[in-house]
Amino acid sequence: MPEYINNLETVSATVTVLIDNTIMEFIPDSAIIKRLSGPGKNFISEHGFAALIETGGKRVLVDTGATGIALEHNLGLLGLDSGDIDAIFLSHGHRDHTGGLPHIGGRIIAHPDSFLERYLTPNENTSYDITSPALDPDTHTVEYHRGPVELAPGVITTGEVPRAHEWEELRIFRIKREGALEDDRVMDDQGVVINTSQGLTILAGCSHAGIINTIEQAIKLTGIEKIYCVIGGFHLIGPGEAKIERTIAGFKRLGVQKIVPIHCTGFEAIKRISQEMPNEFEYCTTGCSISL
């Protein structure tokens, strides 16, 4: 796929958040969000992320959560299983996004780094193994791509995201290449771009590349500068809190109309976005369906 994508089809789509760190019921729907979880249809949450994109008769699963338990349960509440999914796209290769893979088969689209050995190292004395589970050749077919890929009409991946704004990067990860551990810039971190009549929607799993960098990559790829909605984890928690104000300033500069912060965005960042951009902020947890 070329770097600049001409005439990306304009589509209507629904994004359902299958897995987020939290769940909250009995909250009124908004103009774009319908809350599916409730009595008799209780979605479950875990630390992780997964979302289902539906458009033009296609279903694309973005990430799988951490364990597969929430994924299977919540897909079941929608009357779906792996046979109903056209493709699985992995935003990056960390276990809270890939851990559900043993519970769902099918066509997988991923970056070549997605299944390398990886660690979260928040400080010099702490290390957590966040390596993705191994694929099953009997149930998984994988395609590796560094560049953009069309997932469905009007829906593409960003490919590797240039780190134009270095302040967005957090150097808290390690990766093993050829038997040696090295600093991990998480170059496999990618977003999904949906072209709608209102403008672009960008779906990000964790935004390790930086959510502003990711939005700007979407603009560069499509030539479309109107940003309607940004959904996902923005990694503004912990050491990422230092980026909150610059990220909000970036949203304002880019004219983002709707902001749906979830997963690793963190309480403080969600609070600040809701205060500083109240008209753009949308509250969302597991079981929210977003109409685009």
pLDDT category at 2 given cuts 50, 70, 90 is very low
Over residues 246-264, mean pLDDT: 98
205: exposed, middle or buried (Cβ count in 10 Å: 0-12, 13-18, 19+): buried
What is the per-residue pLDDT across 94-133, written as a single tens digit (0 to 9) for each?
Answer: 999 999 999 999 999 999 999 999 999 988 889 999 999 9
Contacts of 170 (CB under 8 A, 6+ apart): 208, 235, 239, 240
pLDDT at 1: 46
What is the per-residue pLDDT across 229-244, written as a single tens digit (0 to 9) for each?
Answer: 999 999 999 999 999 9
Alpha helix (H) residue ranges in 147-243: 211-222
C-alpha 16: how far from chain center: 12
What is the per-residue pLDDT across 199-232, written as a single tens digit (0 to 9) for each?
Answer: 999 999 999 999 999 999 999 999 999 999 999 9
Q: Which of 127, 133, 16 is nearest to 77 (CA)?
A: 16
Tell me the C-alpha distance between 239 and 216, whole Å. 23
Q: Report the range of poorest mean pLDDT among 2-16, 36-50, 66-80.
A: 2-16
- What does the block give as tokens for 274? 């809701």
Question: Is pLDDT of 5 > 80?
Answer: no
Tell me the C-alpha distance between 128 and 94, whole Å. 11
C-alpha 29: how far from chain center: 22
Written in H, E and C, the secondary structure of 172-193 is CEEEEECCEEEECCCCCCCEEE
What is the per-residue pLDDT across 15-60, written as a single tens digit (0 to 9) for each?
Answer: 999 999 999 988 899 999 999 998 889 999 999 999 999 999 999 9
CATH superfamily of 14-291: Ribonuclease Z/Hydroxyacylglutathione hydrolase-like (3.60.15.10)
Tell me the C-alpha distance between 85 and 286, whole Å. 19
- What does the block give as tokens for 117? 């050995």
pLDDT at 122: 87
Tell me the C-alpha distance between 91 and 68, whole Å. 16
Domain residue ranges in the chain: 14-291
Rounded to 5°, angle at Cα 89 from 87 and 94: 145
pTM: 0.96
Question: Dihedral of CA 258/261/262/264: which sign?
Answer: positive
Q: Which of 228, 282, 283, 284 is nearest to 254 (CA)?
A: 228
The neighbour count for residue 127, using CB atoms within 10 Å, is 13
